[in-house]
Amino acid sequence: MKLAILSRNSKLYSTRRLVEAARERGHSVRVLDPLRCYLRIASDGFAMHYKGKPIAGYGAVVPRIGASVTRYGCAVLRQFELMGSYTPNSAAAIARARDKLRCHQVLAAEGIGLPTTVFGDNPDDTADLLAMLGPPPHVIKLNEGTQGAGVMLTEKLSASRAAIETLRGLYAHFLVQEFIAEAKGADLRCFVVGEKVVAAMRRQAPKGDFRSNLHRGGTARPVRPTRAEAETAVRAARILGLRVAGVDMLRSRRGPLVLEVNSSPGLEGIETATGIDVAGAVIDHVVAMATSRKRAANAVLTDS
Ligand SMILES: Nc1ncnc2c1ncn2[C@@H]1O[C@H](COP(=O)(O)OP(=O)(O)OP(=O)(O)O)[C@@H](O)[C@H]1O
Ligand SMILES: [Mg+2]
Ligand SMILES: [Mg+2]
C-alpha cells in the first residue's frame, strides 16, 4: 500500500520508526511535512501539491501533528480524508482531542473516571469555584499545556487563588483539579491502537516532583494494565474518535482516572520502556483498516 506519514520532521524517532515498520512490511511510504502540502479547493475538484509536485493516491496517512501546527496540519489531513485516504485519527478528532477541557467534559458525560475538575472565567467567582472543588491540594493546569509545563500543585487555598489570579492576568485558559495524592507521582500511559492497548508503561516522577512526564525527568517501566485500566483507555479513545491514542491515567482509590488522551502519542518512550514494536502495530492496523474499507467500497460498487 502507498502510505504517507504526516510529520514535520523525518528524523524524529516516531517518524523514523513508522517509516521503518512500513518498509519492513513491504509498503511504499513517504514522510510529508504538512506545512509543505498546499491545496487548491474548487467545486470541480481538489488538488494537493507538495514541494511543487502533485500528490495523490495514498491509501492511508498516519498523522503526527504537533500541537503548534494543529490548525494547518488538520486542514491538510482533512484534505487527505476528502481525497479518500484512510487515517486512524481524523482531523476533526485530533482538533477536538487537543482541548483538555473539552475532553474532560465529553469523557465525564460518558462516565469515564477523571480527577474532579473545575473551571471558571470571572474573578468574582473564584472563591465559590474552589469551594465546588473541595479543599487543597489542587492541581492547576493550562488547557493547552504539554509535557508537564504549565501544570502546578498548590498546597494552600491562598496559593490556589494567587496562581489563578496570575493565570487570569495572562489571559491563559486553565483548569483546576483535585490532587490525586495516592498516585504518588506516577501515571500510566496506555497506547491504544484500534480496540486494544498494545503497550503500557508506568511513569514515575523524579524525587521532589509530582509530574511524571519523561520530559520532566520521569522514569518509565513496562506495566501490565488491569482489565479496568485497559477498558477505560480503549473506551476513552473510542469516545474521542481516536484509533491511535496515548491515554494517560492515574491509579486512584476509585479506579483509573483519565488525565488526557493524546492524539499523536510519541513512540520513543513507550517502545524503549516496553520493547514492543508499537510502530508495527500502528502500521498493521492502518493497513488493515484501509484495506477493509476499500473492499467494502468496491463491494458497494459491484452491488449497484
Ligand atoms: N490531578 C492530578 N493529581 C495528581 N497528579 C497529577 C494530576 N494532574 C496531573 N498530574 C501529574 O502531572 C503530570 C502532567 O499532567 P498532564 O498530563 O495533565 O499535563 P501535560 O503532561 O502537560 O500534558 P501532556 O501529557 O499533553 O504533555 C501527569 O503526568 C501526572 O503525573
Ligand atoms: Mg501528560
Ligand atoms: Mg497531551
Across residues 230-253, what is the average pLDDT? 98
Same domain, 31 and 157: no
Residue 202 β-bridge partners: 188, 221
Same domain, 77 and 6: yes
The pLDDT value given to residue 303: 67
Residue nearest to atom 19 of ligand 1 (CA): 148
Look at 34-43, 143-152, 208-217, 236-245 and tell me which has the smallest mean pLDDT. 143-152
The pLDDT value given to residue 147: 73
Within a domain: 210? yes
The pLDDT value given to residue 294: 82
Q: Which of 150, 179, 208 is the last residue of a domain?
A: 179
Within a domain: 283? no
Residue 67 has pLDDT above 90, yes or no: no
Same domain, 28 and 125: no
The pLDDT value given to residue 148: 73
Same domain, 166 and 142: yes
Same domain, 40 and 79: yes
**Ligand in closest contact with the CA of 188:** 1
Within a domain: 268? no
Across residues 247-271, what is the average pLDDT? 96
Within a domain: 277? no
Question: What domain range includes position 32?
Answer: 2-88
Tell me how far CA of residue 165 lies from CA of 117, 126, 129, 144, 161, in angstroms: 17, 9, 13, 18, 6
Pocket test for ligand 1, best of 100, 102, 213 (most atoms within 8 A of CB): 213
Same domain, 141 and 67: no
Residue given cell 474521542 in the structure block: 240
Please list, in sequence order, all residues whose beta carbon lies within 8 angstroms of the beta carbon of residue 220, skipping any fewer than 6 positions away: 189, 201, 202, 203, 204, 214, 269, 270, 272, 273
Tell me how far CA of residue 116 lies from CA of 63, 138, 172, 192, in angstroms: 31, 10, 20, 24
Instruction: State which ligand 1 atom lies nearest to the alpha carbon of 259.
Output: 18
Residue 108 has pLDDT above 90, yes or no: yes
Q: Which of 131, 155, 179 is the last residue of a domain?
A: 179
Q: Give the C-alpha separation, 118 to 131, whole Å.
A: 10
Residues annotated within the binding site for Mg(2+) are 248, 260, 262
The pLDDT value given to residue 217: 86
Q: Is the separation of the CB atoms in 81 and 46 below 8 Å? A: no
Q: Is 11 exposed, middle or buried (0-12, 13-18, 19+ CB in 10 A)?
A: exposed
Residue among 83, 82, 114, 88 nearest 101 (CA):
114
Q: How confident is the model at residue 257 (pLDDT cuts 50, 70, 90)?
A: very high
Write the CATH number for 20.
3.40.50.20
Residue nearest to atom 23 of ligand 1 (CA): 146
Which residues surround ligand 1 with Cβ inside 6 Å? 115, 139, 141, 145-148, 150-151, 177, 179-180, 183, 187, 205, 210-213, 248, 250, 259-260, 262
Write the CATH number for 217.
3.30.470.20
Residue nearest to atom 13 of ligand 1 (CA): 211
Across residues 86-95, what is the average pLDDT? 97
Same domain, 131 and 234: no
Across residues 22-32, what is the average pLDDT? 98
Q: Which of 179, 194, 220 is the last residue of a domain?
A: 179
pLDDT tens, residue by residue, 194-205: 999 999 999 999
Residue among 24, 41, 25, 32 nearest 6 (CA):
32
Same domain, 222 and 103: yes
Same domain, 102 and 16: no
Distance 274 CA to ligand 2 centre (A): 18
Within a domain: 20? yes
Alpha-carbon Rg for the chain, nearest whole angstrom, is 21
Which is more confidently placed, 146 or 108? 108
Residue nearest to atom 24 of ligand 1 (CA): 146
Residue 304 has pLDDT above 70, yes or no: no
Same domain, 208 and 101: yes
Q: Give the C-alpha separation, 39 to 61, whole Å.
A: 17
Pairing of strands 174-178, 117-118: antiparallel
Within a domain: 125? yes
Residue nearest to atom 12 of ligand 1 (CA): 211
Residue 58 has pLDDT above 70, yes or no: yes
Q: How confident is the model at residue 150 (pLDDT cuts 50, 70, 90)?
A: confident
The pLDDT value given to residue 265: 96
Same domain, 61 and 33: yes
Write the CATH number for 170.
3.30.1490.20
Distance 165 CA to ligand 1 centre (A): 21
Residue 27 has pLDDT above 80, yes or no: yes
Within a domain: 296? no
Domains contained in the chain, number? 3
The pLDDT value given to residue 153: 96
Within a domain: 273? no
The pLDDT value given to residue 145: 67
Same domain, 106 and 59: no
